[in-house]
Amino acid sequence: MCRDLPVTVERFYKRHTVGLTLGYRSDASRPDNPNHMVGYFAGSTPGFTTPRFKAVTLGINTKYYLSKRQDLYLDAQFFYRYWWHNTRFYEEVNYSGSSAPRPEYNTSARNHVLGTKLLFGVTSASKGKRRIGTITNLFVGLGFRVKWINEDGATRMADYYNNRYSSYTPYSDHHYDLLPSIHLGVSFGMLVRKAERADAAE
């Protein structure tokens, strides 16, 4: 199920647009226990996009249309994304067999991402003179982002089969990553045209 909910508003000019994007991503916590996550990668990959994270995104963009028909375009995007989760308990499953000791974690994280994208795309807008229409963008492109990872917590080995548990060991992960990205997608939206003014004839 898709958990990202971005909304973009763009202002059209003759050959270019200026846009603003706001987005929210929900986590995938268990409804019966939102502070408990179970998974093969739960807690074992600090700083990565695991289901435990929530996120908010702020972005700006500008499109430049390569023709007056406003179909082919280049789109430069800049964004900031904030990922977080509060202190939660995680356990890994399928770790070296179901009866073997498995890691448990209590973690919290605050991660920051700054990035840019350069996209090439094609726009298809509904025809006619109706003020409200539809618009579709198909795009492909490259990007680059910097991630600042800030995760703190404690971990231990739990042997449920023999009812043995090690002491929690604190850990801290603070680093940054420089990552390229490839983008391919499609977006759908609503087009609102300017109301035409009728000039009164004398």
Q: What is the pLDDT of residues 12-22, one digit of tens each?
A: 888 999 999 99
Judge whether 196 lies within some domain.
Answer: no
Average pLDDT over residues 144-163: 80
Range of the domain at 10: 4-190
Counting the structural domains of the chain, the total is 1
The pTM of this model reads 0.75
Has residue 20 been placed in a domain?
yes
pLDDT more than 90, % of the chain = 38
> Does some domain include residue 202?
no
Any idea which of 32-36, 61-65, 124-128, 131-135 has the lowest mean pLDDT?
A: 32-36
For residue 200, tell me if it sits in a domain: no
SS (H, E, C) the chain: CCCEEEEEEEEECCCEEEEEEEEEECCCCECCECCEEEECCCCCCCCCCCCCCEEEEEEEEEEEECCCCCCEEEEEEEEEEEEEEEEEEEEECCCCCCCCCEEEEEEEEEEEEEEEEEEEEEEEECCCCCCEEEEEEEEEEEEEEEEEEEEEEEEEEEECCCCEECCCEEEEEEEEEEEEEEEEEEEEEEEECCCCCCCCCC
* Residue 51 clears pLDDT 90, i.e. is over it: no
